[in-house]
Amino acid sequence: MKQTDELSFKPNEFPLAQPFDIVGSTSYADGSVVSRTLKKNEAGTVTLFSFDAGQGLSEHSTPFDAIVQILDGEAELTIGGKKITAGAGQMVIMPANIPHSLDAKVRFKMMLIMVKAS
């Protein structure tokens, strides 16, 4: 997996208290996964991802729940060995300490929210 970071601003400098185009805030790149951090602090992170078809994130687990909001396209997720598909407008909560992975059968964009709380 080739990953690029199109970060053209510093984390936490995204517009506050005003609307912005979340889907247009990250772009697709051929053969790559693009990530863009919107917010990062000791409580957690909010990151946008764009996956080109054929890309993905290999199986891993985290000590906290991970919330995925699909913004565009369709993602195939495997959570604890169970495959599910989620499309634009759908959200999936991946439980803490359960192995999970993501695959792009087609291009998709997502927002990942990690809340570091017990």
Q: At 9, is the pLDDT very low, low, confident or very high (cuts 50, 70, 90)?
A: very low
H-run or E-run covering 85? strand 82-87
Range from 3-12, 17-26, 75-84, 94-103 carrying the lowest mean pLDDT: 3-12
What pLDDT is recorded for position 11? 53
- Write down the residue that tokens 């946008």 correspond to: 48
Give the pair of three-digit tokens for residue 39. 């917010």
Write out pLDDT tens, residues 58-96: 999 999 999 999 999 999 999 999 999 999 999 999 999
Structural domains of the chain ordered from first start: 2-9+25-115 (2.60.120.10)
Write out pLDDT tens, residues 31-56: 999 999 998 888 999 999 999 999 99
Q: Are 49 and 1 in contact (CB under 8 A)?
A: no
Write out pLDDT tens, residues 25-36: 899 999 999 999
Q: Beta strand pairing status for 82-87 and 91-94?
A: unpaired
Q: Which residue has the higher pLDDT, 15 or 100?
A: 100
